Every structure is written in C-alpha cells, then in structure tokens.
C-alpha cells in the first residue's frame, strides 16, 4: 500500500491517539460463524468495538440464507439484476426458508461471501469492490500461523502488510473472497473488511458523507464504530 494512502486510512479509522486496548479489539475479531448449533447462523463477536461491521455483515448473511438458499452456488446472485429476475422475491407468495437443519458449512460460507460482495459493491456504487488483504498470506497456508508476528499498530504497519485489489466483476470478487475466506475468518478479518468497505467507497467520499470528518471512525474509549 502506498505510504500516503496508508497514513490517510489510518488517521481516518483510528486517529492519532488510539489506545492499545482498542487496537487489540480490532486486531482479534474474525468474521466467523458460531459453533453452537442453536446460534449456527450467527456471527461470533468477541469484543464490543467491531459490532458495527459484524451487525451489517450479519444482516446480509441472513438475507442470503433466508431468501437465496437455493442459489448460493451462483457467484453472481448478489447482482441486483438477479434479484429482479426472481419475481417471486417480491411476491407475497414467496416464503423465507424456515428449516435450516440441512444447512451446510459450505452453504453458510457462500452466504457470507455473497454478503461481503454485495456490501462492497454497494459501497462502490455498484461499479467496483476493493478487497484489502495481507500480502504474503497464501490461501493454502494455515492462516493463523501465517499471521504470527504480524501486528497492526500504526500507518507504517498498514503500508507494510496491506495489499489491495479492485474488482469490477462480482463473479471475480466472489471467487477471490471465497478462496481467501480463511483470512477473513482470522483475527484480522473484521479490520480487513472495514478497510475494504472504506476503500470501495473511496476515502474522499467517506469524508464527504460524515457529519464530523475530523473524528476517527473508531471512537475512544471503547473502540466502537461511529456512524
């Protein structure tokens, strides 16, 4: 990542005086499902800070599990034209799925990836999705082991470890995220998805969207996501 972009991104997200406690919250939150059968559709939250990211992703995950469970194998199901073509989605006779006993781990993973793709393209006004990932972490590796020794405590760390790729194709974005989903399940997953969303929208557009652009997006003292 270019140093200027890394500095701008860091200050926008964390500001200049972020505490180690807040950084720890955001550096130890993956995007992963609960292992408890009673909450198997729910994403697990460890700390209070990243709730804004997880709640948004959770809402879209439920959309795909409830209304598109038969189409999760289609990498372009998040395209608005697909939903428009499914006229039953808008008809009162359409019923949301209410039996999840046959829901597989692969189905949940695909619902998660579809949710991520839709959110990123919405941020990119339907034209693009930017995905941030950790350079040098190969999908065939055990991600937790690959992340050992990697810390994110400054803009310099952003510059060193972050890489970005821009997609204009939902199918390509879906396939990339699906292949690399272990990275987003890892301890840096929530932070990576937040960064991806911000870059998809564009940092200048983010600042223009905000009521008070002088404040960081992650607020002290509890590390909650603002706005």
- The DSSP element (H or E) to which 33 belongs, if any, is none
pLDDT digits (tens, 9 = 90+) for 114-137: 999 999 999 999 999 999 999 877
Pairing of strands 218-219, 224-225: antiparallel
Please report which confidence band the pLDDT of residue 94 belongs to, taking 50, 70 and 90 as the band edges: very low
Please report which confidence band the pLDDT of residue 221 belongs to, taking 50, 70 and 90 as the band edges: low
Tell me the helix, strand and coil percentages in the chain, rounded to 5: 50, 10, 40
Bridge partners of 133? Answer: 163
What number is the average pLDDT over the span 7-28?
90
**Any domain includes 129:** yes
Residue with tokens 């008809």: 91
Q: How many CB atoms lie within 10 A of CB 195?
A: 24
**Any domain includes 219:** no
Please report which confidence band the pLDDT of residue 183 belongs to, taking 50, 70 and 90 as the band edges: very high
Domain of 149? 3-211
Q: End-to-end alpha-carbon separation of the chain, Å?
A: 26
Bridge partners of 134? Answer: 162
Q: What is the pLDDT at residue 19?
A: 87
Can you give the pTM of this predicted structure?
A: 0.89
**Any domain includes 220:** no
**Any domain includes 66:** yes
pLDDT digits (tens, 9 = 90+) for 44-89: 998 778 888 999 999 999 999 988 888 888 888 888 877 655 544 4
Q: What is the pLDDT at residue 90?
A: 46
Q: How many CB atoms lie within 10 A of CB 82?
A: 15
Count of structural domains within the chain: 1
Question: Which own/partner contact pairs does 136-144 have at CB distance under 8 Å and 24+ positions apart?
Answer: 136/161, 137/183, 139/179, 139/180, 139/182, 139/183, 143/182, 143/183, 143/185, 143/186, 144/186, 144/187
d(CA 17, CA 11): 9
What number is the average pLDDT over the span 180-204?
95
Please report which confidence band the pLDDT of residue 174 belongs to, taking 50, 70 and 90 as the band edges: very high
**Any domain includes 194:** yes
**Any domain includes 79:** yes
Backbone torsions φ then ψ of 108, nearest 5 degrees: -65, -40
**Any domain includes 222:** no
Residue with tokens 């209410």: 98
d(CA 208, CA 164): 22
Q: Is the peptide bond between 146 and the residue preceding it cis, with omega within 30 degrees of 0?
A: no
Backbone torsions φ then ψ of 131, nearest 5 degrees: -115, 125
**Any domain includes 205:** yes
């Amino acid at each position: 990542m270019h140093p200027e972009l890394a500095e701008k991104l860091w200050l926008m997200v964390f500001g200049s005086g972020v505490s180690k406690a807040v950084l720890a919250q955001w550096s130890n939150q993956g995007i992963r499902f609960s292992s408890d059968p009673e909450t198997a559709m729910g994403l697990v939250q460890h700390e209070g800070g990243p709730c804004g990211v997880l709640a948004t992703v959770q809402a879209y995950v439920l959309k795909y599990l409830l209304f598109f469970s038969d189409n999760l194998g289609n990498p372009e199901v998040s395209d608005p034209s697909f939903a428009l073509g499914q006229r039953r989605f808008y008809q009162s006779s359409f019923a949301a799925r209410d039996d999840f006993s046959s829901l597989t781990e692969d189905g949940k993973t695909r619902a998660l990836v579809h949710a991520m793709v839709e959110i990123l393209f919405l941020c990119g006004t339907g034209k693009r999705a930017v995905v941030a990932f950790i350079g040098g972490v190969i999908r065939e590796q055990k991600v937790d082991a690959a992340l050992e020794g990697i810390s994110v405590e400054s803009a310099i760390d952003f510059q060193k470890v972050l890489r970005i790729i821009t997609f204009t194709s939902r199918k390509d974005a879906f396939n990339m995220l699906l292949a690399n989903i272990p990275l987003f399940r890892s301890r840096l997953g929530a932070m990576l998805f937040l960064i991806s969303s911000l870059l998809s929208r564009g940092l200048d557009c983010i600042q223009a969207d905000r009521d008070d652009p002088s404040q960081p997006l992650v607020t002290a003292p509890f590390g909650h996501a603002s706005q």
